[in-house]
Amino acid sequence: MPTAPKSRCAEPGCRTLVDRGRCGTHERPAWDGRVPFEQRYGMSRSEWDTLAQRILRRDERRCYVCGKQEATQVDHKIPVSEGGSPRDEDNLGAICATPCHEEKSRAERIRAAQRARAGVGESRS
């Protein structure tokens, strides 16, 4: 099966040939520039864990998306990045890890990328 020809690294001015994206010198760490959890959500990880356990008990592990009683995670119904409250229990719900949380998170990432391309809702630093 034929493969695509190599292209130049995506870093402006770099002439290194790569299969895709950036070369090893210019590859950015996956979490580079990400705001720490405490700043994003206004609470510590242990506070979140306590809150999440309370939500799972409240919802009896019933996924708010599909209704199955198999939820193992807690989700912000309205994402914090889209104006949802990080702590408001009305904005939190039990959710199945797969497929419900994965699919919802994928849709949120697509919307975030579209906003970024449009220059809407610039990231908070």
User: What pTM, to 2 d.p., does this model score?
Assistant: 0.68
Count the domains in the chain: 1
Let me know if residue 10 belongs to a domain. Answer: no
Average pLDDT over residues 1-20: 88
User: What is the sign, positive or negative, of the torsion defined by CA atoms of 63, 69, 73, 74?
Assistant: positive
Let me know if residue 5 belongs to a domain. Answer: no
Let me know if residue 72 belongs to a domain. Answer: yes
**pLDDT score of 15:** 93
**Which is more confident, 61 or 28?**
61
pLDDT above 90 for 121 = no
Which pLDDT band, with edges at 50, 70 and 90, does 6 fall under? very high
Distances 26 to 14, 30, 117 between C-alpha atoms, Å: 9, 12, 21
**Which is more confident, 91 or 28?**
91
Let me know if residue 51 belongs to a domain. Answer: yes
Run of H or E including 110:
helix 102-118
pLDDT above 90 for 36 = no
Distances 33 to 20, 30, 60, 75, 125 between C-alpha atoms, Å: 21, 9, 36, 23, 9
Structure confidence by residue, pLDDT tens digits, 59-118: 999 999 999 999 999 999 999 989 999 999 999 999 999 999 999 999 999 998 898 888
**Host domain of residue 102:** 42-118
Let me know if residue 78 belongs to a domain. Answer: yes
Let me know if residue 19 belongs to a domain. Answer: no
Let me know if residue 25 belongs to a domain. Answer: no
Buried b (16+ CB within 10 A) or exposed e, 14-33: eeeebeeeeeeeeeeeeeee
Structure confidence by residue, pLDDT tens digits, 46-66: 999 999 999 999 999 999 999
